[in-house]
């Protein structure tokens, strides 16, 4: 069923987190990618996207997302600790 949601980075990022918690990684990744299309905390979104890629074992995309997270915010302590 199609979800009708407010399209902003925070809402889409939150949906990605919810689907990630439910282990529905395809939907989580979809919503994180949608969130990146809007202005918002791209560092946080890339970090969350990296977690989903880690959970499905895609290390290449995981590393790319962590790099993008640090580019968006070099002071992101959560990403720097990974």
Task: Report whether 12 contacts 35 (CB < 8 A).
Answer: yes
pLDDT digits (tens, 9 = 90+) for 2-42: 666 567 788 899 999 999 999 999 999 999 999 998 877 88
DSSP H or E segment with residue 21: helix 9-21
pTM, entire model? 0.78
DSSP H or E segment with residue 52: helix 42-56
What is the pLDDT, as a whole number, of residue 8?
78
What is the pLDDT, as a whole number, of residue 9?
84
Can you read off the two tokens belonging to residue 49?
Answer: 């996207």
Task: Report whether 11 contacts 5 (CB < 8 A).
Answer: yes
């Amino acid at each position: 069923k199609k979800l009708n949601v407010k399209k902003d980075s925070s809402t889409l990022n939150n949906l990605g987190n919810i689907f990630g918690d439910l282990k529905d990684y395809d939907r989580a990744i979809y919503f994180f990618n949608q969130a990146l299309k809007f202005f918002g905390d791209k560092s946080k979104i890339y970090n969350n996207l990296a977690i989903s890629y880690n959970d499905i074992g895609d290390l290449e995309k995981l590393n790319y997302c962590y790099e993008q997270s640090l580019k968006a915010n070099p002071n992101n302590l959560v990403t720097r600790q990974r």
